[in-house]
Amino acid sequence: MIVVSDTAALAEHLTPLRDRAGTIAFVPTMGNLHEGHLALVDQARAAADAVVVSIFVNPMQFAAHEDLDTYPRTLDDDLSALREAGVDLVLTPSADDIYPDTSARHTAIHVPELGEALCGRDRPGHFDGVCTVVYKLFQLVGPDIAVFGEKDLQQLLIIKKMVADLSLPIDIQSGATQRAEDGLALSSRNQYLSASERALAPLLWQTLQTCGAALTATPREPPASIIDAARVALEQAGFKVDYLELRELSTLQLLDNVDQDCALFVAARLSDTRLIDNIQLAAGN
């Protein structure tokens, strides 16, 4: 496995890799890898001849009050896991390499509407930072395929829109959310949870399942009462709910029924740890 820490070295290794391997699949990450990331790597390896992974904690997607400085960084363990997973090349650039004139002064890519709802509303500028760094990494790596997880479903939809709008010749594939045995979606931020918070956290997924089942049982009924009751139950259990909303999948517009493909999105906090999850609901089910 080749490990490169700057974009100049990346270019030196990519050409012979592409000449030798053919198609390249790319998995961008911020490191602190868990089984969810490795499932995306496995999917990438099955889809292409070679796999490139990036590890970069992107300052442009963090607000000043968020956890950029404390975000877990476990590079040695990450590289060991990627080597065992059969990755061909890992890019570990610095912020200075990606943003020579600092991220604050860098041109940003903005995806309207999709990037302004849900987490985009609660974390202004977040998806501009995500889109900008993903676009830059796409330009550096030049993948044929890129794989993103459905746990961050809004992000996946935004990346697909950016790729389509900018006519990038990349096949964006989605990987299913990986969960702990108790249903909690795997996330690097789960390690922030205390023991008692970790015991409570699976209620988020349980609530999505229960709420989703109730919505699909009455697909033409207004969903407000069901969703409001679920929100209250989460708050009473100890969560601070940022949002629990039913959104149409292609536009992320709010819905008042489930007679079209949609998803129920949730973001909620336990102390300072913000957890997100979603459940997709197919029309007519």
> Which residues are CB-neighbours of 101 under 8 A, at least 6 positions away?
none
d(C-alpha 55, C-alpha 33), whole Å: 9
Helices 224-237 and 203-217, interaxial angle, to 10°?
160
Q: Give strand ranges (E) for 194-234.
A: none
Active site residue 37: yes
Asked if 26 contacts 44 with a C-beta cutoff of 8 angstroms, the reply is yes
72: left (phi over 0), alpha (psi -120 to 50) or beta: beta
Identified catalytic residue from 37, 65, 106, 126: 37
Structure tokens at 146: 């890129």
**Residue 22: burial class (beta carbons within 10 Å; 0-12, 13-18, 19+):** exposed
Q: Tell me which residues are annotated as active site.
A: 37
